[in-house]
Amino acid sequence: MQLKRTFARSLGGIAAAAIMLAAFGGAEAMAASPRAAENKVVLIARQDPGTLDYVTSGLTAVRLWIPANVVEPLVYFNKDGSVDPGVAESWTISDDKLTYEFKIRKTNFSDGTPVTVEDVIYSLNTMKTSPVSDYAAAYNAVSAIEKVDDSTVKVTLSRPSQAFWAGMGGLPGLIQPEHAAADRATKPIGTGPYVLKSYTTNSSFEFEANPNYWGEKPSITSATVRVVTDGTAGLNALEAGEVDAVPVITIDLWEQLTNRGLDKKFTLVTYPQIGEPTYAVFNQKLDPELRKALAMTLDRQAFNDAYGASWGAENTCTFALPNRPWYEPENAESCPYPYDYEKATAEAAKFASTPLEYASLSDVPDLSLPADIMIPVMQGAGFNVTRNAIDLARYSQLIFQGRPPQFDITVMSGPDDPAQWACPSPDKAGWSTYCSQPYTDALAAADSAPTQEEYLAKMKEAAKILRDDAVIVPLIAKKGVGLFDPELKGFLEPRVLVAIELAKLHW
Protein backbone atom coordinates (compact mmCIF):
# COMPACT_ATOMS: atom_id res chain seq x y z
CA MET A 1 0.00 0.00 0.00
CA GLN A 2 1.06 3.56 -0.58
CA LEU A 3 0.42 4.08 3.12
CA LYS A 4 2.76 6.78 4.25
CA ARG A 5 2.20 8.74 1.07
CA THR A 6 -1.57 8.48 1.41
CA PHE A 7 -1.53 9.34 5.11
CA ALA A 8 0.75 12.31 4.60
CA ARG A 9 -1.34 13.80 1.83
CA SER A 10 -4.58 13.33 3.72
CA LEU A 11 -3.17 14.96 6.83
CA GLY A 12 -1.15 17.90 5.71
CA GLY A 13 -2.68 18.78 2.38
CA ILE A 14 -1.86 15.43 1.61
CA ALA A 15 5.02 12.28 -2.57
CA ALA A 16 13.20 8.12 -13.34
CA ALA A 17 13.97 5.80 -15.65
CA ALA A 18 12.66 3.25 -18.12
CA ILE A 19 13.26 -0.11 -19.76
CA MET A 20 11.05 -2.69 -21.34
CA LEU A 21 10.44 -5.62 -19.04
CA ALA A 22 11.30 -9.10 -20.22
CA ALA A 23 8.94 -10.44 -22.83
CA PHE A 24 5.67 -11.65 -21.35
CA GLY A 25 5.80 -15.39 -21.12
CA GLY A 26 5.20 -18.43 -18.99
CA ALA A 27 1.47 -17.79 -18.62
CA GLU A 28 -1.16 -20.40 -19.28
CA ALA A 29 -3.07 -20.25 -22.54
CA MET A 30 -6.16 -18.09 -22.26
CA ALA A 31 -8.92 -16.96 -24.54
CA ALA A 32 -8.18 -13.66 -26.25
CA SER A 33 -9.62 -10.60 -24.58
CA PRO A 34 -12.85 -9.45 -26.25
CA ARG A 35 -11.23 -6.01 -26.38
CA ALA A 36 -8.11 -7.07 -28.30
CA ALA A 37 -9.67 -6.78 -31.77
CA GLU A 38 -10.71 -3.20 -31.02
CA ASN A 39 -7.38 -2.21 -29.46
CA LYS A 40 -9.05 -1.36 -26.19
CA VAL A 41 -8.12 -2.22 -22.62
CA VAL A 42 -9.80 -2.24 -19.23
CA LEU A 43 -7.58 -1.85 -16.18
CA ILE A 44 -8.17 -1.87 -12.43
CA ALA A 45 -7.25 0.91 -10.00
CA ARG A 46 -7.46 0.27 -6.24
CA GLN A 47 -7.92 3.89 -5.16
CA ASP A 48 -9.99 6.86 -6.27
CA PRO A 49 -8.06 10.13 -6.10
CA GLY A 50 -11.04 12.41 -5.46
CA THR A 51 -9.32 15.09 -7.52
CA LEU A 52 -7.19 15.04 -10.67
CA ASP A 53 -5.30 18.17 -9.70
CA TYR A 54 -1.77 16.80 -9.97
CA VAL A 55 -0.38 20.18 -8.87
CA THR A 56 -1.91 20.09 -5.39
CA SER A 57 -2.32 16.35 -4.83
CA GLY A 58 0.52 13.89 -4.39
CA LEU A 59 -1.74 10.84 -4.20
CA THR A 60 -0.55 7.79 -6.09
CA ALA A 61 -4.09 7.42 -7.43
CA VAL A 62 -3.46 10.59 -9.48
CA ARG A 63 0.18 9.94 -10.31
CA LEU A 64 -0.61 6.55 -11.87
CA TRP A 65 -2.87 7.76 -14.68
CA ILE A 66 -2.63 11.46 -15.53
CA PRO A 67 1.14 12.11 -15.99
CA ALA A 68 2.68 10.78 -19.23
CA ASN A 69 -0.75 9.77 -20.55
CA VAL A 70 -2.51 13.15 -20.52
CA VAL A 71 0.06 15.68 -19.32
CA GLU A 72 3.71 15.37 -20.33
CA PRO A 73 6.95 16.66 -18.81
CA LEU A 74 9.57 18.68 -20.66
CA VAL A 75 11.79 15.58 -21.06
CA TYR A 76 11.75 11.84 -20.37
CA PHE A 77 14.56 10.06 -18.51
CA ASN A 78 15.40 6.50 -19.47
CA LYS A 79 16.82 3.81 -17.24
CA ASP A 80 20.13 3.83 -19.09
CA GLY A 81 20.59 7.52 -18.28
CA SER A 82 19.65 8.82 -21.70
CA VAL A 83 17.11 11.62 -22.10
CA ASP A 84 14.30 11.75 -24.65
CA PRO A 85 12.37 14.82 -25.79
CA GLY A 86 8.99 15.59 -24.30
CA VAL A 87 7.33 18.95 -24.60
CA ALA A 88 10.86 20.25 -25.10
CA GLU A 89 12.22 19.03 -28.41
CA SER A 90 15.78 19.99 -27.45
CA TRP A 91 17.71 21.68 -24.65
CA THR A 92 21.10 23.10 -23.74
CA ILE A 93 22.77 23.13 -20.33
CA SER A 94 25.59 25.52 -19.52
CA ASP A 95 28.94 24.09 -18.43
CA ASP A 96 28.47 25.45 -14.92
CA LYS A 97 25.01 23.78 -14.72
CA LEU A 98 23.39 27.09 -13.84
CA THR A 99 21.51 27.84 -17.07
CA TYR A 100 19.03 25.55 -18.88
CA GLU A 101 17.41 26.53 -22.16
CA PHE A 102 14.47 24.48 -23.47
CA LYS A 103 13.37 24.63 -27.08
CA ILE A 104 9.61 24.06 -26.96
CA ARG A 105 8.23 21.86 -29.71
CA LYS A 106 5.65 23.29 -32.08
CA THR A 107 2.59 21.27 -31.16
CA ASN A 108 -0.90 21.58 -29.73
CA PHE A 109 -2.56 20.66 -26.49
CA SER A 110 -5.31 18.07 -26.75
CA ASP A 111 -7.94 20.82 -26.92
CA GLY A 112 -6.34 22.06 -30.15
CA THR A 113 -4.70 25.20 -28.75
CA PRO A 114 -0.98 25.71 -29.44
CA VAL A 115 1.63 25.16 -26.76
CA THR A 116 3.29 28.49 -26.02
CA VAL A 117 6.36 29.58 -24.11
CA GLU A 118 3.98 31.39 -21.76
CA ASP A 119 2.23 28.10 -21.00
CA VAL A 120 5.56 26.49 -20.15
CA ILE A 121 6.59 29.37 -17.88
CA TYR A 122 3.18 29.24 -16.19
CA SER A 123 3.49 25.47 -15.68
CA LEU A 124 6.95 25.62 -14.12
CA ASN A 125 6.01 28.51 -11.84
CA THR A 126 2.87 26.66 -10.79
CA MET A 127 4.87 23.59 -9.78
CA LYS A 128 7.42 25.79 -8.07
CA THR A 129 4.70 26.94 -5.67
CA SER A 130 2.96 23.57 -5.35
CA PRO A 131 1.92 22.58 -1.82
CA VAL A 132 3.33 19.13 -2.57
CA SER A 133 6.85 19.42 -1.19
CA ASP A 134 8.24 16.82 -3.60
CA TYR A 135 7.34 19.05 -6.54
CA ALA A 136 8.32 22.42 -5.11
CA ALA A 137 11.66 21.06 -3.91
CA ALA A 138 12.82 20.62 -7.52
CA TYR A 139 12.86 24.44 -7.77
CA ASN A 140 14.78 25.23 -4.58
CA ALA A 141 17.78 26.44 -6.58
CA VAL A 142 15.80 28.20 -9.33
CA SER A 143 16.24 31.97 -9.37
CA ALA A 144 14.52 32.84 -12.67
CA ILE A 145 12.23 31.34 -15.32
CA GLU A 146 11.97 33.56 -18.38
CA LYS A 147 11.17 33.80 -22.07
CA VAL A 148 14.04 34.03 -24.53
CA ASP A 149 11.92 34.03 -27.69
CA ASP A 150 8.68 32.51 -28.94
CA SER A 151 10.07 28.98 -28.74
CA THR A 152 12.64 29.10 -25.94
CA VAL A 153 12.42 29.13 -22.14
CA LYS A 154 15.46 29.83 -19.96
CA VAL A 155 15.74 28.66 -16.36
CA THR A 156 18.52 30.12 -14.22
CA LEU A 157 19.75 28.43 -11.05
CA SER A 158 21.61 29.97 -8.12
CA ARG A 159 23.61 26.75 -7.75
CA PRO A 160 23.78 23.43 -9.57
CA SER A 161 20.84 21.19 -8.69
CA GLN A 162 20.42 17.54 -9.57
CA ALA A 163 16.85 17.76 -8.26
CA PHE A 164 15.92 20.43 -10.81
CA TRP A 165 17.09 18.48 -13.85
CA ALA A 166 15.52 15.26 -12.59
CA GLY A 167 12.31 17.17 -11.91
CA MET A 168 12.00 18.25 -15.53
CA GLY A 169 11.43 14.61 -16.39
CA GLY A 170 8.99 14.10 -13.52
CA LEU A 171 5.87 15.68 -12.15
CA PRO A 172 7.57 19.04 -11.42
CA GLY A 173 8.15 19.33 -15.18
CA LEU A 174 4.57 18.68 -16.34
CA ILE A 175 3.30 21.20 -18.89
CA GLN A 176 -0.30 22.41 -18.98
CA PRO A 177 -2.22 25.20 -20.76
CA GLU A 178 -2.72 28.22 -18.55
CA HIS A 179 -6.18 28.89 -19.97
CA ALA A 180 -7.47 25.51 -18.76
CA ALA A 181 -5.97 25.59 -15.25
CA ALA A 182 -9.32 26.22 -13.58
CA ASP A 183 -10.62 22.84 -14.80
CA ARG A 184 -7.48 20.88 -13.92
CA ALA A 185 -9.09 19.01 -11.01
CA THR A 186 -11.77 17.43 -13.21
CA LYS A 187 -10.50 17.68 -16.80
CA PRO A 188 -6.72 18.01 -17.06
CA ILE A 189 -5.37 18.91 -20.50
CA GLY A 190 -1.90 18.32 -21.87
CA THR A 191 0.13 17.20 -24.86
CA GLY A 192 0.11 13.49 -24.05
CA PRO A 193 -0.98 10.56 -26.21
CA TYR A 194 -4.41 10.41 -24.54
CA VAL A 195 -7.35 12.64 -23.74
CA LEU A 196 -9.27 12.06 -20.54
CA LYS A 197 -12.82 11.85 -21.87
CA SER A 198 -14.44 11.39 -18.47
CA TYR A 199 -13.74 10.83 -14.81
CA THR A 200 -16.48 9.54 -12.53
CA THR A 201 -15.61 9.65 -8.85
CA ASN A 202 -15.32 6.19 -7.27
CA SER A 203 -16.14 4.62 -10.62
CA SER A 204 -13.83 5.06 -13.62
CA PHE A 205 -11.50 7.00 -15.89
CA GLU A 206 -12.11 6.91 -19.64
CA PHE A 207 -9.18 7.66 -21.96
CA GLU A 208 -9.14 8.03 -25.75
CA ALA A 209 -6.21 8.51 -28.11
CA ASN A 210 -5.30 12.18 -28.58
CA PRO A 211 -5.73 13.10 -32.26
CA ASN A 212 -3.34 16.04 -31.78
CA TYR A 213 -0.52 13.98 -30.29
CA TRP A 214 2.90 14.96 -31.64
CA GLY A 215 4.48 11.52 -31.23
CA GLU A 216 3.80 8.00 -32.46
CA LYS A 217 0.11 7.20 -32.28
CA PRO A 218 -0.70 4.66 -29.56
CA SER A 219 -1.91 1.19 -30.49
CA ILE A 220 -4.48 1.24 -27.69
CA THR A 221 -7.15 3.63 -28.91
CA SER A 222 -9.22 3.70 -25.73
CA ALA A 223 -8.68 2.64 -22.16
CA THR A 224 -11.01 2.33 -19.20
CA VAL A 225 -9.62 2.34 -15.68
CA ARG A 226 -12.17 0.98 -13.24
CA VAL A 227 -11.89 1.96 -9.59
CA VAL A 228 -12.31 -1.25 -7.57
CA THR A 229 -11.20 -0.76 -3.98
CA ASP A 230 -11.81 -4.40 -3.05
CA GLY A 231 -8.58 -6.11 -4.11
CA THR A 232 -10.09 -9.59 -4.26
CA ALA A 233 -12.88 -8.31 -6.49
CA GLY A 234 -10.26 -6.86 -8.82
CA LEU A 235 -8.43 -10.16 -9.07
CA ASN A 236 -11.73 -11.96 -9.66
CA ALA A 237 -12.54 -9.57 -12.52
CA LEU A 238 -9.15 -10.26 -14.10
CA GLU A 239 -9.59 -14.02 -13.81
CA ALA A 240 -13.08 -13.77 -15.31
CA GLY A 241 -11.76 -11.85 -18.32
CA GLU A 242 -13.73 -8.72 -17.43
CA VAL A 243 -10.54 -6.66 -17.23
CA ASP A 244 -7.14 -6.96 -18.88
CA ALA A 245 -4.71 -5.92 -16.15
CA VAL A 246 -4.28 -5.00 -12.52
CA PRO A 247 -1.07 -2.94 -12.78
CA VAL A 248 -0.74 -2.29 -9.03
CA ILE A 249 -1.30 -5.21 -6.67
CA THR A 250 -0.76 -4.22 -3.06
CA ILE A 251 1.11 -6.46 -0.66
CA ASP A 252 -2.04 -7.54 1.16
CA LEU A 253 -2.97 -9.53 -1.97
CA TRP A 254 0.37 -11.19 -2.64
CA GLU A 255 -0.36 -14.38 -0.73
CA GLN A 256 -3.76 -14.71 -2.40
CA LEU A 257 -2.18 -14.09 -5.78
CA THR A 258 0.25 -16.95 -5.22
CA ASN A 259 -2.25 -19.34 -3.62
CA ARG A 260 -4.66 -18.91 -6.52
CA GLY A 261 -1.90 -19.45 -9.07
CA LEU A 262 -2.57 -16.09 -10.70
CA ASP A 263 1.16 -15.40 -10.97
CA LYS A 264 1.31 -18.38 -13.34
CA LYS A 265 -1.96 -17.87 -15.20
CA PHE A 266 -1.24 -14.22 -15.99
CA THR A 267 1.88 -12.27 -16.81
CA LEU A 268 3.41 -11.07 -13.56
CA VAL A 269 5.58 -7.96 -13.67
CA THR A 270 7.62 -6.44 -10.89
CA TYR A 271 9.04 -2.95 -11.00
CA PRO A 272 10.54 -0.66 -8.36
CA GLN A 273 8.84 2.65 -9.07
CA ILE A 274 5.54 1.86 -7.34
CA GLY A 275 7.28 -0.01 -4.54
CA GLU A 276 8.03 1.15 -1.02
CA PRO A 277 10.58 0.50 1.68
CA THR A 278 9.23 -0.99 4.90
CA TYR A 279 11.26 0.26 7.82
CA ALA A 280 11.41 0.33 11.60
CA VAL A 281 11.54 3.76 13.23
CA PHE A 282 13.31 4.29 16.55
CA ASN A 283 12.75 7.61 18.28
CA GLN A 284 15.85 9.74 17.99
CA LYS A 285 15.62 10.57 21.71
CA LEU A 286 16.55 6.96 22.56
CA ASP A 287 20.13 6.17 23.53
CA PRO A 288 22.08 5.49 20.31
CA GLU A 289 23.39 2.22 21.74
CA LEU A 290 19.81 1.16 22.53
CA ARG A 291 18.76 1.92 18.95
CA LYS A 292 21.62 -0.14 17.59
CA ALA A 293 20.79 -3.05 19.89
CA LEU A 294 17.14 -2.97 18.82
CA ALA A 295 18.24 -2.97 15.19
CA MET A 296 20.08 -6.25 15.76
CA THR A 297 16.77 -7.99 16.60
CA LEU A 298 15.48 -7.38 13.05
CA ASP A 299 15.64 -10.55 10.97
CA ARG A 300 14.86 -9.18 7.51
CA GLN A 301 14.30 -12.58 5.97
CA ALA A 302 11.57 -13.28 8.54
CA PHE A 303 9.67 -10.20 7.37
CA ASN A 304 10.15 -11.15 3.73
CA ASP A 305 8.97 -14.72 4.37
CA ALA A 306 5.89 -13.47 6.18
CA TYR A 307 4.62 -11.77 3.03
CA GLY A 308 4.92 -15.03 1.13
CA ALA A 309 6.18 -13.75 -2.22
CA SER A 310 9.92 -13.74 -2.78
CA TRP A 311 9.50 -12.04 -6.15
CA GLY A 312 7.87 -9.05 -4.47
CA ALA A 313 10.51 -7.79 -2.06
CA GLU A 314 14.24 -7.61 -1.36
CA ASN A 315 15.97 -7.50 2.00
CA THR A 316 17.88 -4.26 2.43
CA CYS A 317 19.50 -1.97 4.98
CA THR A 318 19.41 0.99 2.59
CA PHE A 319 16.51 3.44 2.60
CA ALA A 320 15.87 3.26 -1.13
CA LEU A 321 14.27 1.17 -3.85
CA PRO A 322 16.33 -0.95 -6.28
CA ASN A 323 16.15 1.66 -9.05
CA ARG A 324 18.03 4.21 -6.91
CA PRO A 325 21.73 4.10 -7.86
CA TRP A 326 22.83 4.15 -4.18
CA TYR A 327 20.57 1.20 -3.26
CA GLU A 328 22.23 -1.94 -1.90
CA PRO A 329 20.64 -5.28 -1.00
CA GLU A 330 21.31 -6.66 2.46
CA ASN A 331 24.96 -7.59 2.86
CA ALA A 332 27.75 -7.37 5.40
CA GLU A 333 29.03 -4.04 4.06
CA SER A 334 25.68 -2.27 3.85
CA CYS A 335 24.25 -3.41 7.21
CA PRO A 336 26.04 -1.83 10.16
CA TYR A 337 23.78 -3.65 12.66
CA PRO A 338 22.89 -6.99 11.07
CA TYR A 339 20.56 -9.50 12.71
CA ASP A 340 22.41 -10.89 15.73
CA TYR A 341 19.98 -12.12 18.37
CA GLU A 342 22.66 -13.28 20.77
CA LYS A 343 24.40 -9.92 20.77
CA ALA A 344 21.08 -8.06 20.99
CA THR A 345 20.13 -10.12 24.05
CA ALA A 346 23.42 -9.26 25.73
CA GLU A 347 22.90 -5.56 25.00
CA ALA A 348 19.28 -5.66 26.18
CA ALA A 349 20.42 -6.33 29.74
CA LYS A 350 21.83 -2.80 29.86
CA PHE A 351 18.42 -1.32 29.03
CA ALA A 352 16.07 -3.64 30.92
CA SER A 353 14.72 -0.74 33.00
CA THR A 354 14.00 1.45 29.96
CA PRO A 355 10.30 1.26 29.03
CA LEU A 356 9.65 1.28 25.29
CA GLU A 357 6.27 1.90 23.68
CA TYR A 358 5.74 0.28 20.30
CA ALA A 359 2.98 2.09 18.39
CA SER A 360 1.44 -0.27 15.86
CA LEU A 361 -1.47 -0.05 13.45
CA SER A 362 -4.30 -2.39 14.39
CA ASP A 363 -6.23 -2.18 11.12
CA VAL A 364 -3.56 -2.11 8.39
CA PRO A 365 -2.38 -5.68 7.64
CA ASP A 366 0.71 -4.55 5.73
CA LEU A 367 2.07 -2.99 8.90
CA SER A 368 0.48 -5.00 11.69
CA LEU A 369 2.20 -8.10 10.28
CA PRO A 370 5.79 -6.87 10.77
CA ALA A 371 4.79 -5.57 14.21
CA ASP A 372 3.51 -9.07 15.07
CA ILE A 373 6.98 -10.41 14.25
CA MET A 374 9.06 -7.61 15.69
CA ILE A 375 7.54 -7.14 19.15
CA PRO A 376 7.80 -10.71 20.52
CA VAL A 377 11.39 -10.95 19.30
CA MET A 378 12.35 -7.71 21.06
CA GLN A 379 10.58 -8.83 24.21
CA GLY A 380 12.23 -12.24 24.04
CA ALA A 381 15.64 -10.61 23.85
CA GLY A 382 14.90 -8.78 27.10
CA PHE A 383 13.80 -5.33 25.91
CA ASN A 384 10.98 -3.77 27.95
CA VAL A 385 8.59 -3.28 25.02
CA THR A 386 4.85 -2.62 25.41
CA ARG A 387 2.58 -2.65 22.39
CA ASN A 388 0.14 0.22 21.80
CA ALA A 389 -2.10 -1.01 18.98
CA ILE A 390 -4.22 1.81 17.58
CA ASP A 391 -6.42 2.22 14.52
CA LEU A 392 -5.52 4.22 11.45
CA ALA A 393 -7.43 7.35 12.44
CA ARG A 394 -5.81 7.53 15.87
CA TYR A 395 -2.38 6.58 14.52
CA SER A 396 -2.57 9.35 11.94
CA GLN A 397 -3.43 11.89 14.63
CA LEU A 398 -1.01 10.68 17.30
CA ILE A 399 2.00 9.66 15.24
CA PHE A 400 2.04 11.81 12.12
CA GLN A 401 0.91 14.95 13.87
CA GLY A 402 2.59 14.36 17.22
CA ARG A 403 5.08 17.05 18.25
CA PRO A 404 7.34 15.83 19.78
CA PRO A 405 7.06 12.21 18.57
CA GLN A 406 4.67 10.20 20.72
CA PHE A 407 6.26 6.75 20.49
CA ASP A 408 9.53 4.90 20.94
CA ILE A 409 9.26 2.33 18.17
CA THR A 410 7.00 1.91 15.16
CA VAL A 411 7.04 0.45 11.64
CA MET A 412 6.05 2.16 8.40
CA SER A 413 6.01 1.92 4.63
CA GLY A 414 6.16 4.87 2.27
CA PRO A 415 7.92 6.61 -0.60
CA ASP A 416 11.69 6.24 -0.74
CA ASP A 417 12.50 9.94 -1.08
CA PRO A 418 15.63 10.35 1.08
CA ALA A 419 15.01 14.08 1.49
CA GLN A 420 11.95 13.47 3.65
CA TRP A 421 14.26 12.79 6.62
CA ALA A 422 16.29 15.96 6.15
CA CYS A 423 15.96 18.22 9.19
CA PRO A 424 18.84 20.28 10.56
CA SER A 425 17.27 21.07 13.93
CA PRO A 426 16.06 18.40 16.41
CA ASP A 427 13.33 20.74 17.68
CA LYS A 428 11.71 20.40 14.25
CA ALA A 429 11.42 16.62 14.55
CA GLY A 430 8.12 15.15 13.52
CA TRP A 431 6.85 11.60 13.45
CA SER A 432 10.04 10.39 11.75
CA THR A 433 12.04 11.54 14.78
CA TYR A 434 15.10 11.99 12.58
CA CYS A 435 16.87 15.34 12.47
CA SER A 436 20.55 15.31 11.59
CA GLN A 437 22.64 18.23 10.44
CA PRO A 438 25.26 15.92 8.84
CA TYR A 439 22.56 14.05 6.90
CA THR A 440 20.87 17.26 5.79
CA ASP A 441 24.23 18.70 4.72
CA ALA A 442 25.10 15.53 2.82
CA LEU A 443 21.84 15.70 0.85
CA ALA A 444 22.43 19.37 0.05
CA ALA A 445 25.95 18.58 -1.16
CA ALA A 446 24.59 15.79 -3.35
CA ASP A 447 21.98 18.05 -4.94
CA SER A 448 24.67 20.64 -5.73
CA ALA A 449 27.01 18.07 -7.29
CA PRO A 450 27.95 19.11 -10.85
CA THR A 451 28.25 15.53 -12.17
CA GLN A 452 26.34 12.28 -11.79
CA GLU A 453 29.44 10.61 -10.41
CA GLU A 454 29.79 13.18 -7.63
CA TYR A 455 26.06 13.08 -6.99
CA LEU A 456 26.13 9.32 -6.51
CA ALA A 457 29.15 9.51 -4.21
CA LYS A 458 27.44 12.14 -2.03
CA MET A 459 24.20 10.17 -1.92
CA LYS A 460 26.10 7.10 -0.77
CA GLU A 461 27.60 9.22 2.01
CA ALA A 462 24.13 10.38 3.04
CA ALA A 463 22.79 6.82 2.95
CA LYS A 464 25.61 5.70 5.24
CA ILE A 465 24.82 8.45 7.77
CA LEU A 466 21.19 7.35 7.83
CA ARG A 467 22.15 3.68 8.27
CA ASP A 468 24.72 4.31 10.98
CA ASP A 469 22.39 6.40 13.15
CA ALA A 470 19.83 3.55 13.48
CA VAL A 471 16.80 5.81 13.57
CA ILE A 472 15.26 4.90 10.21
CA VAL A 473 16.09 1.19 9.84
CA PRO A 474 15.02 -0.38 6.52
CA LEU A 475 13.78 -3.97 6.52
CA ILE A 476 12.65 -4.79 2.98
CA ALA A 477 12.15 -2.96 -0.31
CA LYS A 478 8.72 -3.91 -1.64
CA LYS A 479 8.46 -3.82 -5.41
CA GLY A 480 5.55 -2.78 -7.54
CA VAL A 481 3.67 -5.86 -8.69
CA GLY A 482 1.16 -6.17 -11.52
CA LEU A 483 -0.75 -8.82 -13.47
CA PHE A 484 -1.50 -8.55 -17.18
CA ASP A 485 -3.40 -10.60 -19.71
CA PRO A 486 -0.74 -12.74 -21.42
CA GLU A 487 -1.68 -11.26 -24.80
CA LEU A 488 -1.27 -7.67 -23.65
CA LYS A 489 2.30 -6.67 -24.41
CA GLY A 490 4.54 -3.66 -24.03
CA PHE A 491 4.43 -2.79 -20.34
CA LEU A 492 7.18 -0.28 -19.64
CA GLU A 493 8.63 0.52 -16.25
CA PRO A 494 7.32 3.96 -15.30
CA ARG A 495 9.42 6.86 -16.52
CA VAL A 496 7.41 9.72 -14.99
CA LEU A 497 7.46 8.71 -11.33
CA VAL A 498 4.90 5.86 -11.14
CA ALA A 499 2.77 6.59 -14.22
CA ILE A 500 1.48 3.57 -16.15
CA GLU A 501 2.12 4.48 -19.80
CA LEU A 502 -0.93 3.27 -21.70
CA ALA A 503 0.60 4.23 -25.07
CA LYS A 504 3.24 1.53 -24.75
CA LEU A 505 0.68 -1.28 -24.44
CA HIS A 506 -0.50 -3.27 -27.43
CA TRP A 507 -2.27 -6.55 -28.26
Distance (Å, rounded) from C-alpha 395 to C-alpha 466? Answer: 25
More confident residue, 326 or 428: 326
- Taking only the tens place, the pLDDT of each residue in 44-97 is 999 899 999 999 998 889 999 999 999 999 999 998 889 999 999 999 999 999
Could you tell me the pLDDT band of residue 30, with boundaries at 50, 70 and 90?
low
Distance (Å, rounded) from C-alpha 503 to C-alpha 488? Answer: 12
Strands 355-361 and 384-390: parallel
The pLDDT assigned to 366 comes to 81
Across the range 325-329, mean pLDDT stands at 95
Distance (Å, rounded) from C-alpha 189 to C-alpha 185? Answer: 10
Across the range 237-248, mean pLDDT stands at 97
Could you tell me the pLDDT band of residue 7, with boundaries at 50, 70 and 90?
very low
Across the range 1-18, mean pLDDT stands at 36
Residue 331, H or E segment: none
The pLDDT assigned to 338 comes to 97
Exposed, middle or buried: residue 46 (CB in 10 Å: 0-12, 13-18, 19+)?
A: buried
Q: Out of 209-223, 262-276, 359-373, pick the least confident.
A: 359-373
Backbone angles phi, psi at 186, to 5 degrees: -120, -25
Chain mean pLDDT for the chain? 90
Nearest partner of 354 among 331, 323, 378, 372, judged by Cα: 378
Tell me the three state secondary structure of residue 461.
helix
- Is the pLDDT assigned to residue 231 strictly greater than 70? yes
pTM here is 0.84
Distance (Å, rounded) from C-alpha 462 to C-alpha 456? Answer: 10
Tell me the three state secondary structure of residue 36.
helix
Across the range 131-137, mean pLDDT stands at 90
Nearest partner of 117 among 89, 88, 92, 147, judged by Cα: 147
Across the range 250-279, mean pLDDT stands at 92
- Is the pLDDT assigned to residue 379 strictly greater than 50? yes
The pLDDT assigned to 400 comes to 74
- Taking only the tens place, the pLDDT of each residue in 329-373 is 999 999 999 999 999 999 999 999 999 999 998 888 788 999 999
The pLDDT assigned to 460 comes to 97
Across the range 121-144, mean pLDDT stands at 95
Nearest partner of 323 among 461, 416, 207, 441, judged by Cα: 416
Q: Determine how many CB atoms are found less than 10 A away from the CB of residue 202.
A: 9
Could you tell me the pLDDT band of residue 267, with boundaries at 50, 70 and 90?
very high
Across the range 386-399, mean pLDDT stands at 85
Q: For the chain, give the percent of residues with pLDDT over 70.
A: 93
Strands 152-157 and 99-104: antiparallel
- Taking only the tens place, the pLDDT of each residue in 459-484 is 999 999 999 999 999 999 999 999 99
- Is the pLDDT assigned to residue 247 strictly greater than 70? yes
- Taking only the tens place, the pLDDT of each residue in 405-434 is 789 999 998 889 898 888 877 777 766 678
CA distances 95 to 59, 92, 141, 427, 449, Å, are 36, 10, 16, 39, 13
